[in-house]
Amino acid sequence: MTDSKYFTTTKKGEIFELKAELNSDKKEKKKEAVKKVIASMTVGKDVSALFPDVVNCMQTDNLELKKLVYLYLMNYAKSQPDMAIMAVNTFVKDCEDSNPLIRALAVRTMGCIRVDKITEYLCEPLRKCLKDEDPYVRKTAAVCVAKLHDINAQLVEDQGFLDLLKDLLSDSNPMVVANAVAAISEIMDTSPNAAQVLEMNSGTINKLLTALNECTEWGQVFILDSISNYTPKDEREAQSVCERVTPRLAHANAAVVLSAVKVVMKLMEMLDTSGDYVTSLVKKLAPPLVTLLSAEPEIQYVALRNINLIVQKRSDILKNEMKVFFVKYNDPIYVKLEKLDIMIRLTSQSNIAQVLAELKEYATEVDVDFVRKSVRAIGRCAIKVEPAAERCVSTLLDLIQTKVNYVVQEAIVVIKDIFRKYPNKYESIIATLCENLDTLDEPEARASMIWIIGEYAERIDNADELLESFLEGFQDENTQVQLQLLTAIVKLFLKRPTDTQELVQQVLSLSTQDSDNPDLRDRGYIYWRLLSTDPAAAKEVVLAEKPLISEETDLIEPTLLDELICHISSLASVYHKPPNAFVEGRGGQRRVLPVKSQGEGTTEETTAPVETTQQPPQPTVIPGADSLIGDLLDIDLGPGPSMMQQQMYPQQPAAPVPAGGAGGGMDIFGEGFDNLLGGGPSGGDMLGGLGDIFGMPQSQSYVPPQEVWLSAPKGKGLEITGTFARKNNQINMELTFTNKAMQPMTGFAIQFNKNSFGLMPAQVLNIRTPLPPNQSASASLPLNTQGPVQKMEPLTLLQVAIKNSIDVFYLSTQVPLHVLFTEDGEMDKKVFLATWKDIPAQNEVQYTIQNDQHNADTVSQKLRNNNIFTIAKRNVEGQDMLYQSLKLTNGIWVLAELKIQPSTPSFVLSLKARAVDVYEAIKQVYENILHN
Amino acid sequence: MISKLFIVSKAGEILIEKDYRNDFSAPPEVCFQEKVKSSRGFSIQPHFNDNGISFFNIQRNDIYLVACSASPLLPVMVIELLTRFYHICKDFCGVVSELSVKENILLLYELLDEFMNEGYVQLASTEKLRPYIQSTPVVVQKERSPATEISSRVFGIETKTVSGSASSKPVVQSPSEQNRNELYVDVIERMSAVIAADGTVSQMEVNGSVNIKNFLVGSPQIKIVLNEDLVVSESKEKGYGSNVQLDRCTFHSCVKQEDFTTAKTLTFVPPVGEISVLSYSVSGEMCLNQPFTLRSFVGDADGSRDVRVTLRLKSNFPSNIVAVNVKVRFSLPKSVSSISSKFSSDEQTAVVNKADKQVVWSLKRLPGKTECIAELRLINQGSGKLSQQEIDPVVLEFEISGYTSSGLRIHGLKVQGTDKGQQRKQFVRLITASDSYVFRTF
C-alpha cells in the first residue's frame, strides 16, 4: 500500500465522502480517511472544511492516527490559528496523557499556534511539561518556551519560565540541556533581561568543557562555538582549553571538526609560538582538515573556503599536503575553483614543478571558468616563485600556441603582471604576443596588450603601427582600453618623439574633445598640459620607474583575516567578509584574535576585554594603496575577475620604504613625515602627531556658540539658548534656561519631533528646579540617534517641544551636522579610492570656501577633531590636496577632497557621496570649523 | 536556526516541505526552484544567499535536499545536517529518490517533525528516531543509476552473494519481516590516481571506509578483525612491503579505539542502520595495488588527416575477480564528430557522447589478468591536424568487487551476544571503485 494512492482521487463530492469516512466507526477506515485528508492537504487542496471531523478523530488511543490528526492540526495552526484554537481543550487534555509521546506532541503543536489567546491555555501545561519525568517531553517543552516568548515575552518573564529553563541547564539528559541552551540563547537575542543567565567566565567554560564529552554532536558544535567567543585569562588557561578541545578534531562530524579548529586557531595566538606545544598543535590540525576533503563535495566546498583562510594565517599547517588540493576531474566546479586558490597559496619553490604540471593539465580542460583561473594561476606562480618564472612563462607561451581564444587572452593578462614583476627580462616573447593581437576581444586582454606595447615601445619597431590600429575604433572601446591606449601612446611619444607627434595629438584630441568620460578627459588634459609645459617633467612622471607588484596581492588584509579566523565555520568564512557586512544589526562587537601576554607583569592587562586589542592595519601585504599617482603612472589595470579587490592597487611606493615603517605608501603623500615620526598607523593619526609637535590643541571638537532658540517674549518669560556638541562619542544638547518671568518655573520636559537623523533625548531633561526668577540653569542633554526618522527640509532641522509649569513651547533649530560625524569615519585608503571611483561623477559637487589662512596640517587637525579624517595628503604643484572621509551616524559616508592653495585664501572643497542631500550641510560644517 | 526544510525534484517540483519557524512572508522555495530551473543540470553551489535568506542544499540521486534560514548559521553544520537527514531517510525508506519521497510522504512528515523542532536539531540518528515513528515505509524498486555514491551501488554488483533488493530495504520493516537478523559489512575503496604517459604514477590515493548496515536483533557487540600487519603512519617515508599501510583513520564514536591500536580489531556496539565505523586513506603507489594499466598510442592514420587512437587496458588483479562497468573516456576533438572502432573481444562498445564532448569505450566486464585493446579511428572533418592535447587526458572508471587496492581485508567477524535459535545472516563485501582515475597521454 503506498501513500501515493491518496493523492490521486479527484472525484467530485470528495469532501463529502471523506466526511462520511471520518465519522465511520471502524478504526482502519478512519485512519485511511485521515491519510487521504493529509494527502489532499499536501498537494494544496483546501480541506479545512473537515476540521471538526478530523478533530473528532483525536479521541483515539491509536498513536499513528493521533499523530496524523496532529499533523493536520499543525498545518492549519499556521494558516488558521483561530480554527486550531477550537481544539485547544483536547491539547490540554493530551498534555496529561500517560504516553510521553502524546504529551510532547500536544505541547509541540500548541507552540505552533501563534495567537495570543493560546497563551492562557498553554502556561499551565507547559509548566508541568517542563518538569515532566520523561526527557522527551522536557526537551520539547524547553523549545516551546522560546516559542511562547516570541508570542508574549512579558508573560514568559512574569511566569518565571526563564528560571525553569535555567533549571533545565543542569538536567541529566544532554538533549534537554541542548534545547534549554538553544532556547535561552534565542530569548537572549531579543530580551536583555535574559542576558545574565548565560555569562561567560572560566567557571561556565569549565562546565561547558565537561559537558562537551557528554552531549550530542550538535550540542558540541554549539558549545565549541561559545568557547570560541571566550578569551582565556592567560596562556596557561588557553593551553588547557586547547588540550580539552583537540580530541574533537578527530570527530566524524565536519561541523564539530571545524568549530574545534576555530577554537584552536584562536587560542594558538595566545601561546608561545616557538614552544613545543604550538608545534604539536600545528601537527594535529593538518589531518582533520585533510580528512574533510574526502567528505561530500558540499562539505568539501565549505571546508575549502575555511582552509583558504587558515593557510593564509598559518601556511605551515598544510605546507606538506599540497597533493590533496590537486583537482579531480569529477569534482564539482565550485570545488575545483576553490582548490585552485589554495594550491597557489601553498606553492613554494619545493613543489612548484608539480604544481605547474598540474596547472598545465587544467588549462586544457573543458570548463571555461576553470581554465581561465588555471591560466591566471600559472601567472601567479611566476610572480610568487621567482626561480620558476621562466618555466611559467614558457608554459604560458605553449598555451598561447593552442590559439584557444580565452586561453590566449588570459595568458596575455597574466604576462602583463609578469612583466611588472620582472621588468626587462622576458621581452623576447613580445613578438609572439603580437601575433595574437587580432584575437583579443576582451577589454582586459586588450588593455594588457596595449600596456605591454607602450611599456616596451622602444623595442617594438612597429609599435606606432600597432597602437594606431587600436586607435581606429577608439570611441567604441571600453574605458579601460581607452585609458591604456592614451597612456601607451604618450609613452611612445616620449620615447620616440620624432615620428609619433601626429599620433599623440590624435589620441589627445580624441580623449579630451570627443569623449565625455571625465576620467579619460582628465587624464588627457593632464598629459596634454604636462607635454606642452614641461616635457622633461612629463618624462619623469610618465616613464618613472614603476614599483614592482607584490607577490601576494590577493591576500586578505591581516586585520580582516584575523577577524575571519574568529569566524571559522560560520557564514563569514564562506563569504570571506566580516559578519556585519551581510547581517544587519547582529554581532555588533567585532571579534578579534587574542594576543599573547607579554612577560609576567602584564597579565593584568591582558585580562581586559579583547576588543581593545584592535591593531592598526599592517601594511606588509597590501602596500600603500594609492593609485592617485598610480593613475598617472597608468598602472591601474583593472583586476581580473578571479583576483580579489586588492589587486587593483598593487604598487608599492616609488620611494624606498622605511624599514619597519608602517605606511610605505604614505611617502607619496606624507612627504616623508612618517620617517620622521617613525610611521604613524594612518594618515589621520600621523597628522595628529604633527599637531602635537606644533603644540596645537588636541581633540577639541568645534562647538558653535549658543544661540537664542526661544526668546523670552515668545516663551512667556522663559528664554532658551542652546547649541550642540559632540563629546566622547556622545552627542549632547547644551541648553541654558533663563527665567525672565516673575514666578519660579518647574516641571521641565523636552521632546523632539521626528527628524532626519532619528535624534532623540537619551535621558530625561535634568535641571535644577524650581528655577527662580532672573536665574539661569544649564543642562547638558545626551542624545541618541535611535528615534523615528523622517526627512526634514532642510536636512538638519530639528523641531523641539519644551514644557514647563507655564506652557508648552515649540521651537525649531538646526543641528550642526558635525555632531553626527562618528568616530569610525576613517576610511581605509583602498576603500576610499574604490568608493571615490564608484560614486558616479555627477554626484560630485565643488564649493569654494573663502577667507581661510590655515595651512594643510592645521586644517587636517581641526577637521580631525570633528571626526573628519584626512586619509591622504599630497602636494601637486604647490597645492595641498587633502583626501578626507567622514561617516554620519546613519551610516552615510561622505568623501571629500580639499584643495588648499597657499597663495590664495580660499579652499576648494569637492564632495562625493551617494546621498547628495547632505552636501549643503557638510559644506556649512567645513566653513564653520575652518573659520572658527 | 533552520527555518524551513524542503525536498525538490530535479525538475524543480517541491516534493515535501516543512516550515519550522514561519519566518517568511513569501515562500522561499520559489527562489530555489528558479535556481534549479536555470542551472540546467549543472551543479548548484551548496550555499547561496538570496535577499537575505541563506539557502543550503545537497544533491543526492535525483533530488535536492534544501534548508533555508533567515539567520546566520554555520554552513558546515547545516550541510552536515542535510547529509544526516538524507541518511536517515535512506535508513527508513531504503532508497531516497523522487519516487520514494512521493510514496512516503507521511513517513517523511513524521521524520521531519522529530528531526527538528523550531529549527533546532532533535533526534538525528535512525536509532533514536525509531521509537517515535509510527508509519511504515513503502519500498520502491531501486533504479540502478551509474553515477552517485558508491555505497548505494554496492549491492548491484555482487549479485552472486546477495539478492539485489535485500539491502535497499529499510531498517524499519513492516511487521511481517520484523525478525530479519542480518548484518552487512562493506569495505569500500574509492581510488584516485594520476598516471603519467610513461606509466609512472604521479599520484595515487585511496579513500576507504568500513561501512556496516545493521539489522541485527538485540544490540550485540560486533568485532571485526582486520589485517594483522596493518600500520597507521603519517610519516612520508613508507616502506615497501606487503602490509597494509594507512595514512589516516577516523572512527565512528561507538568504536573502542584501544582495541584497534592493540589488536587491529574494531570492537563496537552499532546503532541500527547504516554507519561508517572506520574511514581511512592511503596514498602512494608503494602502499596500493594498481588494478589497471592503460597504454595509449595516438598516431596518424595513413594517408588521411584522421587520427588513430589505440588503447590497451590490462587488468592486474587476480583472474578469479571481475571488474564491471569499466569505462574509458577521453575528450572528443572539436573537428571530430564520428569514430570507427575495432575491439579485441565482444561485449565492448565505443560511442561518441556529443553532450559531454567525449568518446566512451565501455566494457561490461573485464576479468583479472586480461588485456583488452580498442583501436579507434577519429574521423577528422577539420582542415588542420589534430593534436594529442585535444584528447588528453584519458579517464578510467571501474568497479571491482572482492578486491581492495590497499589490501585491507576482514579476517574475522564476530557477533557477540546470544541470539537463541535466531538465524543470523552476515555478509562481507570488498569493493574498489574509481573516483578520479586519470591517465595522461603526453
The pLDDT tens digits of the residues spanning A792-814 come to 888 888 888 888 888 888 888 88
Query: Is the pLDDT reported for residue B255 higher than 70?
Result: yes
Q: Which residue of A has its CA nearest to B128?
A: A136
Query: Is the pLDDT reported for residue A568 higher than 80?
Result: yes
Give the pLDDT confidence score for residue A375 in this predicted structure.
93
Task: Write out the three cell numbers for A799.
Answer: 523641531
pLDDT tens for B180-237 read 678 889 999 999 998 888 888 888 889 999 998 888 877 888 899 988 888 887 655 5
Give the pLDDT confidence score for residue A196 in this predicted structure.
57
Mutate which: B58, B76, B203, vs A, most A CBs within 10 A:
B76
- Tell me whether B43 touches chain A (CB under 8 Å): yes
* Most confident residue range from A537-541, A655-659, A858-862: A537-541
Query: Is the pLDDT reported for residue A188 higher than 50?
Result: yes
Per the CB < 8 A criterion, the answer to whether B230 and B243 are in contact is yes
Which A positions 562-601 lie with beta carbon below 8 A of chain B? 569-572, 574, 579, 582-583, 586
Given A38, A63, A216, which is nearest B106 (Cβ)? A38
Q: Which residue of B has its CA nearest to A185?
A: B1
- Tell me whether A67 touches chain B (CB under 8 Å): yes
Share of chain A above pLDDT 90, in %: 13
Distances (CA, A) of A62 to A177, A400, A721, B292: 31, 74, 79, 59
Residue A371 pLDDT level (bands cut at 50, 70, 90): very high
- Tell me whether A834 touches chain B (CB under 8 Å): no
Which A positions 8-37 lie with beta carbon below 8 A of chain B? 35
Size of interface A-B (CB pairs under 8 A): 174
Query: Is the pLDDT reported for residue B127 higher than 60?
Result: yes
Give the pLDDT confidence score for residue A616 in this predicted structure.
40
Query: Is the pLDDT reported for residue A670 higher than 60?
Result: no
Given A252, A301, A366, which is nearest B331 (Cβ)? A366
- Tell me whether B135 touches chain A (CB under 8 Å): yes
- Tell me whether A302 touches chain B (CB under 8 Å): yes
Give the pLDDT confidence score for residue B397 in this predicted structure.
92
Query: Is the pLDDT reported for residue A513 higher than 80?
Result: yes
The mean pLDDT of B75-89, rounded to a whole number, is 91
Query: Is the pLDDT reported for residue B148 higher than 50?
Result: no
Cα–Cα distance for residue pair B270/B418, rounded to 1 Å: 16
Per CB-CB distance under 8 Å, the chain A contacts of B17 are none
- The strand order across the sheet containing A893-900 reads A845-849, A907-913, A893-900, A879-887, A869-876
CA-nearest of B61, B2, B10, B63 to B28 is: B2
Residue A787 pLDDT level (bands cut at 50, 70, 90): confident
Quick check: B106 and A402 CB within 8 A? Answer: no
> If DSSP codes are grouped into helix, strand and coil, which group holds residue A907?
strand
Share of chain B above pLDDT 70, in %: 87
Residue A695 pLDDT level (bands cut at 50, 70, 90): very low
CA A768, chain centre distance (Å): 46
Euclidean distance between the first and the last CA atom of chain A, given in angstroms as a whole number: 88
Give the pLDDT confidence score for residue A176 in this predicted structure.
87
Q: A626's torsion region: left (phi>0), alpha (psi -120 to 50) or beta?
A: beta
pLDDT tens for A56-71 read 888 787 888 888 888 8
Per CB-CB distance under 8 Å, the chain B contacts of A78 are 19, 22
Per CB-CB distance under 8 Å, the chain A contacts of B77 are 218, 221, 255, 569
The mean pLDDT of A918-924, rounded to a whole number, is 83
Measured in angstroms, the CA of A82 and the nearest CA of chain B are apart by 16
Residue B8 pLDDT level (bands cut at 50, 70, 90): very high
Mutate which: A259, A296, A364, vs B, most B CBs within 10 A:
A296
The mean pLDDT of B267-284, rounded to a whole number, is 86
pLDDT tens for A170-186 read 888 888 888 887 888 78
Mutate which: A294, A319, A575, vs B, most B CBs within 10 A:
A294
State the alpha helices, DSSP H only, in A583-682. 603-606, 627-632, 666-670, 673-677
Give the pLDDT confidence score for residue A431 in this predicted structure.
85
The mean pLDDT of B372-390, rounded to a whole number, is 81
Per CB-CB distance under 8 Å, the chain A contacts of B106 are 3, 35, 38, 68, 71
> If DSSP codes are grouped into helix, strand and coil, which group holds residue A658?
coil
Given B19, B77, B194, which is nearest A78 (Cβ)? B19
Cα–Cα distance for residue pair A393/A422, rounded to 1 Å: 11
The mean pLDDT of A122-138, rounded to a whole number, is 91
pLDDT tens for A435-480 read 888 888 889 999 999 999 998 888 888 888 888 888 888 888 888 8
Quick check: B16 and A42 CB within 8 A? Answer: yes
Cα–Cα distance for residue pair A900/A3, rounded to 1 Å: 80
| Bond into B220 cis (ω within 30) | no
Quick check: B105 and A63 CB within 8 A? Answer: no
Q: Which residue of B has its CA nearest to A354?
A: B202
Quick check: A254 and B76 CB within 8 A? Answer: yes
Minimum mean pLDDT range among A900-914, B37-51, B134-148: B134-148
Give the pLDDT confidence score for residue B203 in this predicted structure.
84
| Summary mean pLDDT of chain A | 79
Query: Is the pLDDT reported for residue A835 higher than 50?
Result: yes
- Tell me whether B72 touches chain A (CB under 8 Å): yes
Query: Is the pLDDT reported for residue A91 higher than 90?
Result: no
Amino acid (1-letter code) at residue A596: K
Quick check: A402 and B281 CB within 8 A? Answer: no
The 3-class secondary structure across A103-170, one letter per residue, is: HHHHHHHHHHCCCCCHHHHHHHHHHHHHCCCCHHHHHHHHHHHHHHHHHCHHHHHHCCHHHHHHHHCC
The mean pLDDT of B325-335, rounded to a whole number, is 87
Query: Is the pLDDT reported for residue A9 higher than 80?
Result: no
Parallel, antiparallel, or unpaired: how do β-strands B245-246 and B231-232 relate? parallel
Cα–Cα distance for residue pair A34/B176, rounded to 1 Å: 24
Give the pLDDT confidence score for residue A700 in this predicted structure.
66
Q: Which residue of A has its CA nearest to B140?
A: A2
| ipTM value | 0.74
For A8, which DSSP code?
-
Give the pLDDT confidence score for residue B396 in this predicted structure.
93
CA dihedral of A786, A789, A793, A796, whole degrees rounded to 10: 10
Measured in angstroms, the CA of B367 and the nearest CA of chain A are apart by 26
Residue A395 CB contacts under 8 Å (≥ 6 apart), including other chains: A356, A359, A360, A378
Query: Is the pLDDT reported for residue A554 higher than 80?
Result: no
Residue A428 pLDDT level (bands cut at 50, 70, 90): confident
What kind and span of H or E run contains A307? helix A297-313
Give the pLDDT confidence score for residue A791 in this predicted structure.
80
pTM over 0.90: no
| Summary mean pLDDT of chain B | 82
* Most confident residue range from A371-380, A635-644, A907-916: A371-380
pLDDT tens for A709-747 read 888 888 888 888 888 888 778 888 888 888 888 788 888
Measured in angstroms, the CA of A388 and the nearest CA of chain B are apart by 20
- Tell me whether B370 touches chain A (CB under 8 Å): no
Q: How many CB atoms lie within 10 A of CB B79?
A: 28
Query: Is the pLDDT reported for residue B174 higher than 50?
Result: no
pLDDT tens for A278-331 read 888 888 899 899 989 988 899 999 999 999 999 988 888 888 888 889 998 888
What kind and span of H or E run contains A871? strand A869-876
Per the CB < 8 A criterion, the answer to whether A285 and A264 are in contact is yes
Per CB-CB distance under 8 Å, the chain B contacts of A328 are 192, 435-436
Residue A6 pLDDT level (bands cut at 50, 70, 90): low
Cα–Cα distance for residue pair A175/A680, rounded to 1 Å: 53
Give the pLDDT confidence score for residue A133 in this predicted structure.
92
Cell 587560542, residue? A267
The mean pLDDT of B301-322, rounded to a whole number, is 86
The mean pLDDT of B10-30, rounded to a whole number, is 85
The 3-class secondary structure across chain B, one letter per residue, is: CCCEEEEEECCCCEEEEEECCCCCCCCCHHHHHHHHHHHCCCCCCCEEEECCEEEEEEEECCEEEEEEECCCCCHHHHHHHHHHHHHHHHHHHCCCCHHHHHHCHHHHHHHHHHHEECCEECCCCHHHHHHHCCCCCCCCCCCCCCCCCHHHHHHHHCCCCCCCCHHHCCCCCCHHHCCCCEEEEEEEEEEEEEECCCCCEEEEEEEEEEEEEECCCCCCCEEEEECCCCEECCCCCCCCCCCCEECEEEECCCECHHHHHHHCEEEECCCCEEEEEEEEEEECCCCCCCCEEEEEEEEECCCCCCEEEEEEEEECCCCCCEEEEEEEEEECCCCEEEEEEEECCCCEEEEEECCCCEEEEEEEEEECCCEEEEEEEEEECCCCCCCHHHCCCEEEEEEEECCCCCCCCEEEEEECCCCCCCCCEEEEEEEEEEEEEEECCC
Which A positions 388-417 lie with beta carbon below 8 A of chain B? 402
Residue A598 pLDDT level (bands cut at 50, 70, 90): low
Cα–Cα distance for residue pair B170/B156, rounded to 1 Å: 16
Per CB-CB distance under 8 Å, the chain B contacts of A7 are 102
Measured in angstroms, the CA of A31 and the nearest CA of chain B are apart by 12
Give the pLDDT confidence score for residue A590 in this predicted structure.
65
Quick check: A139 and B122 CB within 8 A? Answer: yes
Per CB-CB distance under 8 Å, the chain A contacts of B19 are 78
Measured in angstroms, the CA of A876 and the nearest CA of chain B are apart by 45
Residue A665 pLDDT level (bands cut at 50, 70, 90): very low
Per CB-CB distance under 8 Å, the chain B contacts of A399 are none
Cell 596500493, residue? B288
Residue A54 CB contacts under 8 Å (≥ 6 apart), including other chains: A22, A34, A37, A69, A72, A73
- Tell me whether B192 touches chain A (CB under 8 Å): yes
Residue A5 pLDDT level (bands cut at 50, 70, 90): low
pLDDT tens for A741-765 read 878 888 888 888 888 888 888 888 8
Give the pLDDT confidence score for residue A584 in this predicted structure.
54
* Most confident residue range from A247-256, A817-826, B151-160: A247-256
Give the pLDDT confidence score for residue A411 in this predicted structure.
92
Query: Is the pLDDT reported for residue A271 higher than 90?
Result: no
Query: Is the pLDDT reported for residue A620 higher than 50?
Result: no
Residue A664 pLDDT level (bands cut at 50, 70, 90): very low
Query: Is the pLDDT reported for residue A898 higher than 90?
Result: no
Give the pLDDT confidence score for residue B422 in this predicted structure.
65
Cα–Cα distance for residue pair A54/A18, rounded to 1 Å: 10
Quick check: B436 and A328 CB within 8 A? Answer: yes
Per the CB < 8 A criterion, the answer to whether A859 and A806 are in contact is no
Give the pLDDT confidence score for residue A765 in this predicted structure.
81
Residue A472, classified by CB atoms within 10 Å of its CB into exposed (0-12), middle (13-18) or buried (19+), is: exposed
Per the CB < 8 A criterion, the answer to whether A655 and A626 are in contact is no
Which B positions 393-422 lie with beta carbon below 8 A of chain A? 393, 395
Q: Which residue has the higher pLDDT, B145 or B126?
A: B126
Query: Is the pLDDT reported for residue B163 higher than 50?
Result: no
Query: Is the pLDDT reported for residue A85 higher than 70?
Result: yes
Give the pLDDT confidence score for residue A617 in this predicted structure.
39
